[in-house]
Amino acid sequence: MKASGDVTALLHAWREGDLGARDRLVPVVYEELRRRAAACLHREPRRQTLQPTDLVHEAYLRLVDQQRAVWRNRAQFFGVAAEMMRRICVDRARARLAVKRSGKWARVTLDPGAAFSEPLDIDVLDLDAALTRLAEIDQRKSRIAELRFFGGLSLEEAADVLELSLATVERDWQFARAWLFDALSAQPAAHDS
């Protein structure tokens, strides 16, 4: 049985109440979660103190605390993990801002696949606010962007999570990326005072 099958089988067993399956899930998903957390934190200021291991542990604690989660498959699990990582990163950025009121910037690229281009500097709080505004216009496009930015999911994985065709996700990602670029480059940081 391949790893994705292992993850899905363990999630189904956990959903049915097998807490041992939940515990066996950790080593199966840990490295993938850590890789995604490292990608997410790579966009954070170098001064930040959250390490990928810390982000994985905090996200995992929130994931296992889900009382009503109906785990379907590996893609859905990583989609929920992306949402948890977004919340953790945003909460930490808000806490840093509240303490220091310095408007620190996080590095976020609007094209994670563009390894050779210079990413646009965006504050994680501004990105969160823009994603929230985009969700008011189109929830699906906002969710795709969240999965890409905070979960490091590929377009194929996002399509699996959202149960959409790859072509639909590619179109929505193109729109979301352009919309976010416009929204984020046209305004000063929302929390600057």
List, for residues 53-104, the tens digit of each pLDDT value.
888 888 888 887 776 778 888 888 888 888 899 889 888 888 877 665 544 4
Residue 119's pLDDT band, with cuts at 50, 70 and 90, is very low
Q: Is pLDDT at 45 greater than 80 in this prediction? A: no
The amino acid at 173? W
- Please check whether residue 190 lies inside any domain of the structure: no
Q: Is pLDDT at 115 greater than 50 in this prediction? A: no
Is there a contact between 4 and 74 (Cβ–Cβ < 8 Å)? yes
Closest CA to 179 of 143, 139, 134: 134
Residue 14's pLDDT band, with cuts at 50, 70 and 90, is confident
Name the residue range of residue 151's domain.
3-185
Where does the chain have alpha helices with state H? Answer: 3-15, 19-42, 52-64, 74-100, 124-137, 139-151, 155-162, 166-185
Buried b (16+ CB within 10 A) or exposed e, 121-150: ebbbbbbbbbbeebeeeeeebbbbbbbbbb
As given in the structure block, the two tokens for residue 64 are 């296992």
| Cα within 13 Å of Cα(104), Cβ side | 18
- Please check whether residue 192 lies inside any domain of the structure: no
- Please check whether residue 27 lies inside any domain of the structure: yes
- Please check whether residue 193 lies inside any domain of the structure: no
- Please check whether residue 191 lies inside any domain of the structure: no
- Please check whether residue 113 lies inside any domain of the structure: yes
Q: What is the model's pLDDT at position 186?
A: 76
Domain count along the chain:
1
Residue 180's pLDDT band, with cuts at 50, 70 and 90, is very high
User: How far from each other are the two terminal CA atoms of the chain, in whole angstroms?
Assistant: 55
- Please check whether residue 79 lies inside any domain of the structure: yes
Q: Is pLDDT at 114 greater than 50 in this prediction? A: no
